[in-house]
Amino acid sequence: MDLHRIFGTTTPVIGVVHLQPLPTAARWGGNLRAVIERAEQEATALAAGGVNGIIVENFFDAPFPKNRVDPAVVSAMTLVVERLQNLVTIPLGLNVLRNDAHSALAIASCTGAAFIRVNVLTGVMATDQGLIEGEAHQLLRYRRELGSSVQILADVLVKHARPLGTPNLTVAVQDTIERGLADGVILSGWATGSPPSLEDLELAKAAAGDVPVFIGSGASIENIGQLLQAADGVIVSSSLKRQGKREQSIDPVRVGRFVDTVRACQQRLQTVATPQAVNTNSASLSR
């Protein structure tokens, strides 16, 4: 996955638009126009703050079906993505919760969105929706049938879930990439707003090789400098909202501060790496 080609940077910050409840959701309010207007406001705030990409997610549709969502949800999310494409120029992605990667890929392919997030691509996870089985074989064949180039970012040991059997992060990352053919992997904490540990990120990065590793939850101004030492990018939502609360709307000031912090961290990491490369080259020449 070529991060610079897709996002214009090697360390992308991807914001999230949490859609208000959609048709057929338990808390659906009956006004799709209001849902779209809220999504437009949030996407505009994220883009103005400097993020490099946006994921559109039916976050407030809980409780979620574990696999296929209702066709009305697919239709509504397609409308939202098309509207947002008229407002922002940065890449858009889809996450259709809880694990409808098939619909996410269909929407992305038809609208020209750049990527999707898949909570369970491989393996079996015990969740509050029941047992969710990865369907990488179906998803990758569907992408080929569509002639699509949409990139697949897959969670490893996804939040709000527990793997069946003894979890092994290194094996899970390798299976997701080598057997599930994910274009990028995502590592989260145990729940929304909970960050992964630096140790786990380091293990994931070592196992992923050249495949990008994203921080999937819990990133904040306070911890992003540390976490980025072992990650290629970050997906962030709650800490960009007013008062840092997920129920609130996106705060463009908080977005700008977060993006500035990431860029400063990126420059520091590059500064640290550059002298090492110079020293290595000098040593090679002296030999």
The secondary structure element, H or E, covering residue 187 is: strand 184-187
pTM score, two decimals? 0.91
- Per-residue pLDDT tens, the chain, 287 aa: give them: 999 999 999 999 999 999 999 999 999 999 999 999 999 999 999 999 999 999 999 999 999 999 999 999 999 999 999 999 999 999 999 999 999 999 999 999 999 999 999 999 999 999 999 999 999 999 999 999 999 999 999 999 887 878 887 679 999 999 999 999 999 999 988 777 789 999 999 999 999 999 999 999 999 999 999 999 999 999 999 999 998 888 999 999 999 999 999 999 888 888 876 655 445 554 444 44
**Which phi and psi angles does 115 have, rounded to 5°?**
-155, 165
Write out the residue range of the structural domain in which residue 267 sits: 3-286
Number of domains in the chain: 1
Q: Which residues of 154-193 are buried (b: 16+ CB within 10 A; e: fewer)?
A: bbbbbbbbebeeeeebeebbbbbbeebbbbbbbbbbeeeb
pLDDT at 140: 98
CATH code for the domain in which residue 247 is found: 3.20.20.70
pLDDT at 232: 96
Kindly report, residue by residue over 109-165, the tens digit of the pLDDT. 999 999 999 999 999 999 999 999 999 999 999 999 999 999 999 999 887 878 887
Distance in angstroms (rounded) separating the CA atoms of residues 118 and 155: 6
